[in-house]
Chain A
Amino acid sequence: MEALLGARLTLALSIFAFLSLLTTSFSQQIQILNAERRIDLTSHIVKVFLTLKVENTGTAPANEVLLAFPPTQVDHLAVVKAKAATGRRKKRTYITLDVKPTELPDAPNGAKYFIISLLNPLNSGETATLEVLYMLTHSLEPFPAEISQSEPQLVYYHDSAIILSPYLIKQQTTFIKTPTSKVESFTRVEPTNRVSTELKYGPYEDRTPYSFSPIIVHFENNNPFAVVEELVREVEISHWGNLQITEHYKLVHAGARHKGVFSRVEYQSRPSHSGISSFKHLLARLPPRVHSVYYRDEIGNISSSHLRTDYRKSELEIEPRYPLFGGWKATFVIGYGLPLQDFLFESSDGKRYLNFSFGCPLAETVVDKLTIKVVLPEGSKDPSIVVPFPVEQHLETKYSYLDVVGRTVLVLEKKNVVPEHNSPFQVYYTFNQMFVLAEPLMLVSAFFFFFVACVAYLHIDLSIHKPSQHFAKF
């Protein structure tokens, strides 16, 4: 391990010796007076809160602030959000800022950038406080990669003690919060300090742009590493007053792989020692007024679930058929109905729109690939969509109960989804109310013709041989 660390350090140092030569006028216009980073490692989703106090040292007003990430982190980056803090301590308010990924031509060593657009340009000499939140998934690497039933789960977290930034940082501190005080080892970059569950790196003064100092924290994390490899949510709108949601999950425990024996007797008799990194239930937060909830998989109903509803929310506690140990998988389907009037509205221009929550209803899970299919009623036109973040989308056609022309399906796909993505999105479409009656009328006419055919058959005599006169009357 030491060798590994050493190699990484030399690599990093050589990179940054090279990097420090690169200076751009663009980035040197701004410097960061104070940076505080709090990394939360309590769950398997790494949450990083970054507070930056930015000062414009240049002459021209600055509109944008850049955030830099090492390429290994960018792949795992699920969310980047930024807020500007205004006002004094008591009356501090936050305004959400626009964050976009961007490419810079002279990015050193494949660093990736996000650009924060400031609301008001930062004039020369002015300072601003930015609050940045970003989340990393799949960033805790289990080590050892395979554990037996009685062992706790230990993971590595790789990062840099010094915040990677294209700007000069005057002073910076990093706090790392671990779930328990059981920390096997951590890289020391003095001054480093550890108090129970918190590791403190820094403060470091006057670090040049693109400074990097890799650290590894090796600690115990037994929180459920629940990862949905693939989630397909189908939202079907019926103008008869129902919104039917069907969610197909492919769940996996992404922590350290289970190896060897699974002993039920140990699991049942010593729950505190045996399989502590495994999990057996999950919580799904569903909208209020949910009805006809089912929870099953391809071989039938799964009986271990509980639904609690109140007027604000519904909570569905589900247990997979078996407890999930590292590397074990399970698939299941959750389906439920919702009253349509809670989610379907009419916009001012006569269009209808569906306002529904994006993301996965399971608490504290990462979704690797999320597909949302919005099935519009048959006969609806001009679908369009408003989502607060970039998604891939395309159209499909689906045939359901007695459809003739098929229903338009809007398919939205997004990778790497975390609970932060549970924000509403809107689907706009036009729909003529008369189409609601098409299928009942079709059925009515089918039965009508059937009965007419029956009546006709009974009244037509197709026999060649004429029956005797007496019976012909009837």
Chain B
Amino acid sequence: MADPENAMGATTLRYAFGNVLSFFILLLIGVLAFSIRLFSVIKYESVIHEFDPYFNYRVTQFLTKNGIYDFWNWFDDRTWYPLGRVIGGTVYPGLTLTAGTLWWILNSLNVPLSVETVCVFTAPIFSAFASWATYLLTKEVKGAGAGLTAAALLAMVPSYISRSVAGSYDNEAVAIFALIFTFYLYIKTLNTGSLFYATLNALAYFYMVCSWGGYTFIINLIPMHVLLCIVTGRYSSRLYIAYAPFVVLGTLLAALVPVVGFNAVMTSEHFASFLVFIIIHVVAFVYYIKGILSPKMFKVAVMLVISVGLAVCCAVMAILIALVASSPTKGWSGRSLSLLDPTYASKYIPIIASVSEHQPPTWPSYFMDINVLAFLVPAGIIACFLPLSDASSFVVLYIVTSVYFSGVMVRLMLVLAPAACIMSGIALSEAFHVFTRSIKFQLPGLLGSSQVDSGDASSSTVVAQNDAGKVEKTEDTAKERPSKKNKKKEKEIVDKPSLKTKIEKRLLVLPLEASIFAILLLVLLGAFYVVHCVWAAAEAYSAPSIVLTSHSPDGGLHVFDDFREAYAWLSHNTEVDDKVASWWDYGYQTTAMANRTVIVDNNTWNNTHIATVGTAMSSPEKAAWEIFNSLDVKYVLVVFGGLVGYPSDDINKFLWMVRIGGGVFPHIKEPDYLRDGHYRIDSQATPTMLNCLMYKLSYYRFVETDGKGFDRVRRTEIGKKHFKLTHFEEVFTTHHWMVRIYKLKPPKNRIRGKAKKLKSKTSTTTSTKRSGANKRNPWH
């Protein structure tokens, strides 16, 4: 043992084993992350989920069929009729390009997987990558142990599972990986000061910009951290290398993405990074000057520069503020504004507020989505302060900001999840470290033998002996090649605590029984987390939402496949160029599954257009027919859950149609649809409500099913039971009545005698209303 050569051999072997073990643990974590997301495929089928994924799938299909150049120039005329949409310039292409590339590689290897299969499994694959990226990030912050724990936690955190189950082919699926990986590269650059990693960081940021609008989180968080470091006097050349190339390269690359373009330098979301960019240069310059001047001269110089600099700064700031203030939204996009001011959307933009995932979360949803991590995070924050490094201050900042954002929008819980996992990983790993060390320290004394656990004991002493030599070696590792450096970095991290243990272990030893008990409790906590995650993955988040199932009392499974029934019917039994109007929720699915032109879809870029459809739905039949007819609509699709009790149907969304429609066309007034402030469809409902198109299309001949017209969602009998449609005819209703499709009747031939009568009639009764509607309707 005293022989240094021999001891060195033993430790190397131990590290080798450690590395192999970590490798296999990581591999298993990847497998876990992938397989826990397959519940949806096993319980349901390999199918694309929900709404947005269908759009992404359609874009991917186009990409694989027509190639990348057509993709950039794609003008989609099957949506937003008659405006169309430039897909190539308005879509974040990261996900599509990723899946398209995967498909292309597989197909060039003659593995005939369909585009759909590749799309379905993209999200699980990238969650495995994300957990590996978490490992790397946490390892940079607090060592490999914390890294593995954090990776394992992330692999199954319910919040992330909800967005990345197989089939949930959405931007977030790859964006979370890109987010964590960008942060890792930033920390890595910060720890090493290597320009190589700084460049990689910019590339990872580019991928993030390609993938998700959430990239603004990165471009604000990193400057914040840089500012924090400068303010707390942690400025170093490493910080400069980590930040300056990132901003320059990152902004240039971001501007390459068509959907971002000049926004990368023009919108307020990015200004923080430029401001900090200036500040860091000033600070660097000051440090440089400080280095070459004597302290006295330096003071003089500071005085000079500050007086001149302040004047210039004030001028620049004034111009900047004037520029920004001149734009109506102060240069911020609606979604970003609603982040800063949570009440903004509900006041001004009903379209953003109408989306359930833009609502603030409730407390149970925190417990549902991050579970025990919520309790571990504070411990992790404390652990990050012992000692505070550049890296750990970054993760603290990350968790603090993401907690705020998640509190504003439930959707951003997704950004919180990795931070919570990292913090909890650190907390768990530190806790285990303390407890096992206490046990290890006391066990030999307890058994009266120093041979127990000799491997660990001996190596730790050996490490302690060699510490003096190693610490100086670790310093020159900074100049070495990255791959070698990884290994040594690890050693350094493992070594440092062991050095500390030598000094502090007398002080920080806990009683043996308490340690064992605490470890048991921690394991129990972990087990609870695992059980919860598996439950969430299997039960809560795996439903594809286009197929619904219910269990009959005798254990049988009943499948409600009405959406696809309707889409299949549309795609096979209507003309290719027919236009289908529906509320925007179903736009993406209609274009992707039925291949029919829609008026509005889930990309809610044109408020007026959506308001037109909302107005039509909330108007009486004739006015609605005119609006739809002016839009060339041939079929109207409504979703109705009243027969089987499907709660998220159009009647429940109807108030939003009224609000959005009324926001643009003031003759639609929300109070007209409410009886004493209550939304109801029973006999107490207002006549406006009972005569609007949505009510009629939903409940047409509904009373004939049970004789009473009992709506199982609203749990009431409907108000108006027997009525006829004059301008629409039912052409298809699905098996469970969940989707009803109506056709616009062709305009009637005018009969000479009658036409006159009709004209005089309408002019007396509804002329004011109709002319008002016509004037405001943009399609007249």
B interface footprint on A35-79 (CB within 8 Å = 1, 0 otherwise):
000000000000000000000000000000000000000000000
B705, A265: Cβ atoms closer than 8 Å: yes
- Residues of the B chain whose Cβ atoms lie less than 8 Å from the Cβ of A269: 704-705
Task: From known contacts A263-B733, A400-B112, A401-B111, infer whether A467 and B484 are also in contact, taking CB-CB under 8 Å.
Answer: yes
The contact string, 1 if C-beta is below 8 Å from chain B, for chain A 244-263, is 00000000000000001111
Q: B532-577: which have CB < 8 Å to A?
A: 546-547, 559, 561, 564-565, 567-569, 572-573
B780 beta carbon closer than 8 Å to chain A: no
* B243 CB to nearest A CB, Å: 26
Residue ID in chain A nearest B743 by CB atoms: A261
- Which residue of chain B lies nearest to A252 when distances are taken between CB atoms in the complex? B572
Among the stretches B206-214, B390-398, B472-480, B769-777, the one at the interface with A is B472-480
Residue B727, interface by CB 8 Å:
no
* Residues 174 to 211 of chain B near chain A (Cβ within 8 Å): none
Q: Which of B439-466 contact A (CB under 8 A)?
A: none
A300 at the binding interface (Cβ < 8 Å): yes
Given the known interface contacts A262-B730, A300-B47, A303-B559, the answer about A321 and B564 at a Cβ–Cβ threshold of 8 Å is: yes
Q: Does B110 contact A (CB under 8 A)?
A: yes
Q: Give chain B residues whose Cβ lies under 8 Å from the Cβ of A471.
A: 473
Residues of A within 8 A of B704 (CB): 265, 269
Any B CB within 8 A of the CB of A474 = yes
Contacts of B701 in A (CB 8 A): 263, 265
B670 smallest CB distance to A (angstroms): 32
- Identify the interface centre among B112, B573, B705: most chain A CB within 10 Å of its CB: B573
In the complex formed, the residue of B with least CB distance to A296 is: B45
- Give the contacts of B722-749 with A (CB-CB under 8 A): 729-735, 737
The stretch of A82-90, A163-171, A206-214, A327-335 that contacts the partner chain: A327-335
Q: Judge if B593 is at the interface, Cβ distance under 8 Å.
A: yes
Assuming the contacts A300-B45, A463-B480, A471-B473, asked whether A402 and B109 have C-beta atoms less than 8 A apart, the reply is yes
CA distance A302 to B45 in the complex (A): 10
Decide: A329 near B737, CB < 8 A? Known: A303-B561, A322-B568, A403-B110: no
Q: Are A468 and B473 in contact (CB under 8 A)?
A: yes
Q: Which residues of A contact B111 (CB under 8 A)?
A: 401-402
Min CB gap A404→B, angstroms: 8
Contacts of B734 in A (CB 8 A): 264, 322
Q: What is the distance, in angstroms, from A249's C-beta to the closest C-beta of chain B?
A: 12
- Whether A330 pairs with B568 at a CB distance below 8 angstroms is yes
What string of 1s and 0s marks CB contacts (under 8 Å) between B467-495 and chain A? 00100010010011100100000000000
Query: Is there an interface contact between A299 and B564, defined as CB atoms closer than 8 Å?
Result: yes
B12 within 8 A of A: yes
Tell me how many residues of B have a C-beta within 8 Å of chain A: 37
Alpha-carbon distance A282/B593, docked complex (angstroms): 24
Considering only residues 291-306 of chain A, those with a C-beta below 8 Å from chain B are 297, 299-304
A167–B601 Cα gap in the complex (Å)?
A: 70
Docked complex Cα distance between A464 and B551 (Å) = 67
Instruction: Say yes or no: A462-B568 contact (C-beta < 8 A), given A322-B732, A402-B109.
Output: no
Q: Which residues of B contact A462 (CB under 8 A)?
A: 481
User: How distant is the Cα of A297 from the Cα of B732 in the complex, in angstroms?
Assistant: 20
A474: B residues at CB distance < 8 A: 12
Q: Is the CB–CB distance between B730 and A263 below 8 Å?
A: yes
Number of A positions contacting B (CB below 8 A): 36
Contacts of A303 in B (CB 8 A): 547, 559, 561
Given known A261-B730, A262-B730, A269-B704, contact A331–B110 (CB-CB < 8 A): no
Complex CA gap A327/B479 in Å reads: 75
Distance in angstroms between the alpha carbons of A299 and B735 in the assembled complex: 18
Q: How far is the CA of A465 from the CA of B546 in the complex (A)?
A: 59
- Expressed in whole angstroms, the Cα–Cα distance for A304 and B479 within the complex equals 65
Determine the chain B residues whose CB is within 8 A of the CB of A400 once the complex forms. Answer: 110, 112
Q: B711 to nearest A CB, angstroms?
A: 15
Q: How far is the CB of B766 from chain A (nearest CB, A)?
A: 27
0/1 per residue, A432-465, Cβ < 8 Å to B? 0000000000000000000000000000001101
Q: How far is the CB of B496 from chain A (nearest CB, A)?
A: 18
Instruction: Find out whether the CB atom of B568 lies under 8 angstroms from the CB atom of A264.
Output: no
Q: A265-B704, A321-B561, A402-B109 are in contact. Are A260 and B568 (CB under 8 A)?
A: no
Known: A299-B593, A302-B561. A328 touches B733 (CB 8 A): no
Q: How far is the CB of A229 from chain B (nearest CB, A)?
A: 12
Q: Does A399 contact B (CB under 8 A)?
A: yes
**Smallest CB gap from A297: residue in B:** B568
A470 within 8 A of B: yes
Contact B564 A262 (CB under 8 A): no
- Which among B109, B112, B547, B572 is the interface contact of A331 at CB below 8 angstroms? B572
Could you say which residues of chain A place their CB within 8 Å of the CB of B476? 468
CB distance from A107 to the nearest CB of B (A): 42
Hey, what's the 0/1 contact readout for A370-393 against B, CB within 8 Å counting as 1? 000000000000000000000000
CA distance A262 to B735 in the complex (A): 12
A329-B573, A467-B480 as given contacts; A261 in contact with B568, CB under 8 Å: no
Of B47, B559, B735, most buried by chain A (CB within 10 Å of CB) is B735
A323: nearest chain-B partner, CB-CB: B735
CB distance from B568 to the nearest CB of A (A): 4
B476 to A, closest residue via Cβ:
A468
Q: Chain B nearest CB: distance from A251 CB in Å?
A: 9
Residue pair A264, B733 in contact (C-beta under 8 Å): yes
Q: Find out whether the CB atom of B561 lies under 8 angstroms from the CB atom of A299.
A: no
**B676 to nearest A CB, angstroms?**
33
Q: How far is the CA of A117 from the CA of B568 in the complex (A)?
A: 50
Q: A321-B561, A471-B473 are in contact. Are A402 and B110 (CB under 8 A)?
A: yes
* A401–B484 CB distance below 8 A: no
Interface residues of A in 219-265 (CB under 8 A from B): 260-265
Structural contact, B593 and A322, CB atoms closer than 8 A? no
Residue of B nearest to A320 (CB): B568
- Within 8 Å by CB of B737, from A264, A404, A465, lies A264
- Chain B min CB distance to A454 (Å): 12
Q: How far is the CA of A302 from the CA of B593 in the complex (A)?
A: 14
**Which B residues touch A322, using CB under 8 A?**
565, 568-569, 732, 734-735
> Within the complex, which residue of B45, B479, B561, B732 is in contact with A465, where a contact is CB–CB below 8 Å?
B479
Which residues of chain A have C-beta atoms less than 8 A from B730's C-beta?
261-264
B481 touches A301 (CB 8 A): no
Residue of A nearest to B107 (CB): A399
Contacts A401-B110, A401-B111, A470-B473: A329 and B45 contacting too (C-beta < 8 A)?
no
Task: Report B273 CB to chain A, min CB distance, Å.
Answer: 34
Chain B residues whose CB sits within 8 angstroms of the CB of A302 once the complex forms: 561
Q: How far is the CA of A400 from the CA of B734 in the complex (A)?
A: 38
Complex CA gap A327/B573 in Å reads 8
* Separation of A304 and B701 alpha carbons in the complex (Å): 26
Contact residue among B12, B45, B109, B565 (Cβ-Cβ distance under 8 Å from A321): B565
**B358 to nearest A CB, angstroms?**
28
Name 24 A/B residue pairs within 8 A (Cβ), A-sorted.
Answer: A260-B729, A261-B729, A261-B730, A261-B731, A265-B701, A268-B705, A269-B704, A297-B568, A299-B47, A299-B593, A300-B564, A301-B45, A303-B559, A303-B561, A304-B559, A304-B561, A322-B568, A322-B735, A328-B573, A329-B573, A399-B110, A462-B481, A463-B481, A465-B480
Add 12 more A-B contacts to A329-B573, A401-B112 (CB < 8 A): A260-B729, A261-B731, A262-B730, A262-B733, A301-B45, A301-B47, A322-B732, A322-B734, A330-B572, A463-B484, A468-B473, A468-B476
**Which A residues are closer than 8 A to B by beta carbons?**
260-265, 268-269, 297, 299-304, 321-322, 327-331, 399-404, 462-463, 465, 467-468, 470-471, 474
Closest 7 CB pairs of A and B: A264-B733, A300-B47, A303-B559, A301-B45, A329-B572, A463-B481, A321-B565
